[in-house]
Structure 1
Amino acid sequence: MSVRLFGTTFTTARAEEVIAAAAALPQARLRLIVTANVDHIVILSENAAFRKAYDGAAMRTLDGMPLVWLARLGGGRNVRRITGHELIAAALASPQPSDRRVFLMASSDIVGARVAASFAEAGLPAAAVRMATPPFGFETDEAYSRRLAAEIRAHGTTLLIMGVGAPKSEIWVDRYGPELGNPVTLAVGEALNVAAGLVPRAPVLMQRMGLEWFFRFLHAPRRLFPRYFLRSWRFLKIASASRGRQTLDSALGRHSREAAWMLHPETKPES
């Protein structure tokens, strides 16, 4: 159950199925789950390290509604949106949550503390949850990163939740994955702040209409203006080019089939 978009394969499975599939992979494989949105697509076109992390991820979901619409337009009828919030909930709702060893990479101490408290309410013992609030620029500090990776591994982490934003979360996990013990890893960005209750979720109607971005912008206009009103324009160009290639490939494929039928009429299916 998958769909191709922008040269990348995305899963169309449900959140709980995504978690189960990643958990079933051998630990020798990087078990990273990424959640694509419009901003990710723009960064993927510019950042080779981010592209490498995406290509190496175990599962890729469509988080942004514009991506879901494009996938459906391309023929993916069963494409669904799977958010970081849903993945976190699915991971905690899976069988035997008491066996989980969770490590949170949070954007602030208060985010980590609140999410850890909510996990305790879900049945996880306090000792099963650890957290870190990495300093700005941690992803370029090799000594710090190796100490942090060792801490994650020593905890026996089975579920690592990265809430420090893209592309640093994905690139960091791709780079240090073997040193982490390869837990199932969710790169969910803002979803961790939502889980902490510091960022409100958009109303369901706005989510369905693809207006969640506007709801977020209203709550953090200064931080999100560059993303939504400057960088996102590049997405339209990328999407247009991708759609054009898809149409061309489809046309070439059709003409190739017609040429083959002319040479070998017996291969043409009955109408």
Structure 2
Amino acid sequence: MTNSDGRRNQGSCSGDDRRVRLFDITFTPGSAVEILSVARDQSVTGPRLIVTANLDHIVTLSENVAFRKAYDRAVARTLDGMPLVWLARLSGATTARRVTGHDLVEAAFAEPWPAGQRIFLICASEIVGTRLTERLLAKGLPRHAIAVTVPPYGFEADEAYGTQLAAAVRAHGTTLLVFGVGAPRSEIWVDRQGEALGGPMVLAVGEALNVAAGLVPRAPVILQRAGLEWLFRFLNAPHRLFRRYFVRSWRLVGLVLRRFFVRHNPQRATTASTPSGARDTP
């Protein structure tokens, strides 16, 4: 993604003083509708990626250089997890609010459609694509404006397939590209394909796409507000999510403590800000 003067876009969104700064990431303020509007208005060449940060993303960002690059170049970033919202508020950002992948999908799929809307869905399974196509058709989007694909496992590392998929996205005239195959694969792939995709707005929302298709339940609102949506998700998929919630999430504690240490020991800031063992691969 480049600006008009040829420089890469670094995700600058607006001068809104409500913006939240956390873990060296500037988050975009506003509701899901407002954030989509900000993304549409960005003057960039290439895809306009919106990322949704949760605890696992923060940990992965400290380890994976390619993922960090994708985040830095995104046009908008949201606080998806309540623990991050609480951390932001404790840091003084009292206006911090949660905007999830679910919120973005619902706002993006709501009528009235932007002029010339053409949606490309990259789904985890055929049934997800079928259900979402039915939903979009029922809302009045023409069939020719909807494209769906289910990429093979490891697609992000397959250069030939990536070139083919990017060409298909561009040929469709895609204005909204929605990824439901998980992080960091989606974000890194979009960032690496760049202008080959054309100029769509891109939502990397993972399982939120399965929820939108009606195949996976979402936690009750009371659990969402209490910051316990993760527990509901874990109980519905314990084998898949055990490591994320009970092993990897503890690394965030180390990141928070390290930042606290750096804040009180400025001379160590340069050393501490460099991720240990960071990789430039998905």
Normalising by structure 2, we get a TM-score of 0.85
1:49 equivalent in alignment to 2:66: yes
- Name whichever of 108-117 and 155-164 sits farther off: 108-117
1:217 equivalent in alignment to 2:214: no
Which contiguous aligned blocks of 4+ residues in structure 1 show a shift greater than 3 angstroms?
94-98, 243-249
User: Which residue of 124, 128, 137 corresponds with 1:120?
Assistant: 137
1:154 equivalent in alignment to 2:137: no
User: Which residue of 245, 250, 253 corresponds with 1:228?
Assistant: 245
Quote how far apart the aligned CAs of 1:118 are.
1.2
User: Which residue of 188, 197, 220 corresponds with 1:203?
Assistant: 220
Alignment partners' CA distance in 1, 2:165 and 2:75: 22
User: Which residue of 249, 259, 264 corresponds with 1:242?
Assistant: 259
Alignment partners' CA distance in 2, 1:85 and 1:53: 21
SS in 1 for 2:109: helix
RMSD, matched Cα: 1.4
Which residue of the partner structure matches residue 43 of structure 2?
26
Count of paired positions: 249
Distance 1:98 1:230, change over 3 A: same
Quote how far apart the aligned CAs of 1:12 are.
1.9
Confirm or deny: 8 A CA contact 1:30 1:58 kept in the other structure.
no
Distance 1:236 1:21, change over 3 A: same
Alignment partners' CA distance in 1, 2:124 and 2:113: 28
Residues 135-154 of structure 1 show CA distances to partners (whole Å, capped at 9, x for unaligned) of 00000000000000000000
Distance 1:65 1:178, change over 3 A: same
Amino acid at match of 2:67: F
Quote how far apart the aligned CAs of 1:207 are.
0.3
Alignment partners' CA distance in 1, 2:140 and 2:257: 47
Alignment partners' CA distance in 2, 1:175 and 1:15: 25
SS in 1 for 2:174: coil
Quote how far apart the aligned CAs of 1:204 are.
0.3
**Superposed counterparts of 1:56-135, under 5 Å:** 56-93=73-110, 95-97=112-114, 99-135=116-152
Of structures 1 and 2, the larger Rg is shown by 1
Identity across the alignment (%): 59
More helix by share: 1
Amino acid at match of 1:172: W
Confirm or deny: 8 A CA contact 2:53 2:81 kept in the other structure.
yes
Amino acid at match of 2:233: R
